[in-house]
Amino acid sequence: MTLKKYEGDVNDFINSMAIALEEGSVDPDVRRLAEYAVVSFNPTFHVRAVFNFVRQTFPYLADPVDAELLQHPRIISQDYLNQGRARGLDCDCVAVLEAAMLSSIGIRSRVAIMDTAQKGSYDHAVCQVFSSTLGNIWLNADTTTNYPFGWELNHGMITYIGEN
């Protein structure tokens, strides 16, 4: 699955995101990319290293109008590791990539799909990281905005993918 366009059924898209996250979490190239991020950005704080690496390396690029595209974390990782190519990603692609990278190095993460406009449809996805030191909570690690790590977003409905 390099780049797939979805039309219609949101459940099919959510299922594909879950599969990409699950596969990416055990993919050796995704793990290599996560390890590269940790070594390059912050060997002490792995979550912050991956967050900063993804934010600084993969610029936000919205999907075309009336299209929902999904790029697999393995392909994104291979493009970067083998060709030095950092492609633009929209929120769902970057959330799956970041969560897969974190999961691949043993950090509990998931993707949250949200209705931020509170209009009854999903319009944003973020990676979330579990923190036991801050009281067993999930923190947003949204690299597509300028908000800091851990910011909280008002939202309507929400679906979680890949709680591990």
Residue that has been written with the tokens 């991956």 in this structure: 50
Rg (CA), the chain: 15
The per-residue pLDDT for range 23-61, each reduced to its tens digit, is: 999 999 999 999 999 988 777 789 999 999 999 999 998
The per-residue pLDDT for range 111-156, each reduced to its tens digit, is: 998 888 777 778 889 999 998 888 888 999 999 888 888 888 766 7
Measure the CA–CA gap between 4 and 84, rounded to whole angstroms: 22
Of 32 and 16, more confident: 32
**CATH top class, domain 3-161:** alpha beta
Predicted structure pTM score: 0.88
Indicate the length of the chain as a whole number: 164
Query: Beta strands of 10-123 (E only): which ranges?
Result: 68-71, 109-114
Residue that has been written with the tokens 């459940």 in this structure: 11
